[in-house]
Amino acid sequence: MLIVPLARFASSCVAVAAWSIASPAFAFDISFGKSQLCGLQTARPDRVPGVQVKTLQGRNGPIGYARFGHGTPLLLITGYRATLGEWNAYFLGALARQHEVIVFDNRGVGRSTPAAGHYGIDYGMSDMAADAADVIAGLKLARVDVVGWSMGGMIAQRLALDAPEKVASLTLIATAPPGPEAVPLTPEMTNVLSGSGADAFPKIMSALFPANAVADASKCFIGDMFAPPGYKGRPVPDAVADQQNRAMTAWFADTAAADALRRSPVRTLIVAGANDEVLADTNARRLEQMIPRATLDVVADAGHALMFQYPLELARHIDAFVAK
């Protein structure tokens, strides 16, 4: 855990106390209560007639996306080796009550794959952020609130640096800052998340969730994934996973991005799980120190996949932040 200098800690305590009185929904350490992994009976957009995955043309090829809900536009950027189908459907449904929600496949993944089957071998966070910008432009949106999870949070940060005029607010979930102050994934964790075979799924569940939530996650995770009609997330090619790994490695060495983030004008909510085994909550605390207009919430008894563990509470928390 990052050690905060005494003077800063004291002033932070005063600020937190004042903030708690004014707005008790936000604090440095919060609880979302009991995990909501199983038994939800709320709306999910993949059961709504007409919701389907379409494609638009980006500068580097087709981009698969889905768009649903009503309200202010909210763009969600997913993480490492993930398709748009790996968002929790109930989380998306809760967000869609207040927002027009847009989810899309990162390049080389799902429907964002050109006929030739590849996007080249050298691209990074700026390139994937440019793809996100192409989604915004392709849907003729001026500004959007942006939510990024895990590697998607890194892409979201880059988007806010490269095109701040397009980003109304930024929500960063279980992610890490650029530069050497970050705590990267360990090689062992990367191997777990990249795994295949009969034992891969239980290992991934154990990596994404706290021990007391793994049993429910193992039972309900796949059924709770966003599954619009006709959409099947293709297996992520090894070459794409390798490139995403290289992009993250470059991100953790990007001191220029870290310096730029310290001058970012974008209002930002950082949400981290106190039990995140993939990207430790130390990353969230360092992000909060970097970004001038940041609010940090570390969620007790939460792992890396917060949108599956607490889909409704996390959606409410994002709604409250975006609406401020």
Amino acid at 293: R
Write out pLDDT tens, residues 29-87. 899 999 999 989 999 999 999 999 999 999 989 999 999 999 999 999 999 999 999 99
Specify the pTM.
0.90
Decide if 2 is inside a domain: no
Decide if 4 is inside a domain: no
Q: How many distinct structural domains can be found in the chain?
A: 1
Decide if 178 is inside a domain: yes
Supply the pLDDT for residue 251: 98
Decide if 112 is inside a domain: yes
Supply the pLDDT for residue 26: 42
Decide if 24 is inside a domain: no
Supply the pLDDT for residue 29: 87
Supply the pLDDT for residue 320: 97
Please calculate the CA angle 158-54-230 and round it to the nearest 5 degrees.
Answer: 120
Supply the pLDDT for residue 190: 92
Q: List the domain range (segments joined by +) for residue 171.
A: 29-323
| DSSP for residue 294 | E
Supply the pLDDT for residue 117: 63
Supply the pLDDT for residue 124: 95
Calpha distance 249→59 (Å, rounded): 24
Decide if 43 is inside a domain: yes
Contacts 24+ apart (CB under 8 A), 258-261: 258/177, 258/178, 258/179, 258/180, 258/181, 258/290, 259/179, 260/161, 261/157, 261/161, 261/177, 261/178, 261/290, 261/291
Supply the pLDDT for residue 23: 36
- Residue 258: give its domain's CATH number: 3.40.50.1820
Decide if 8 is inside a domain: no
Decide if 16 is inside a domain: no
Per-residue model confidence as pLDDT tens for the chain (324 residues): 333 332 332 333 333 333 333 333 344 589 999 999 998 999 999 999 999 999 999 998 999 999 999 999 999 999 999 999 999 999 999 999 999 999 999 999 999 987 666 666 689 999 999 999 999 999 999 999 999 999 999 999 999 999 999 999 999 999 999 999 999 999 999 999 988 788 999 999 999 999 999 999 999 999 999 999 999 877 888 899 999 999 999 999 999 999 999 999 999 999 999 999 999 999 999 999 999 999 999 999 999 999 999 999 999 999 999 998
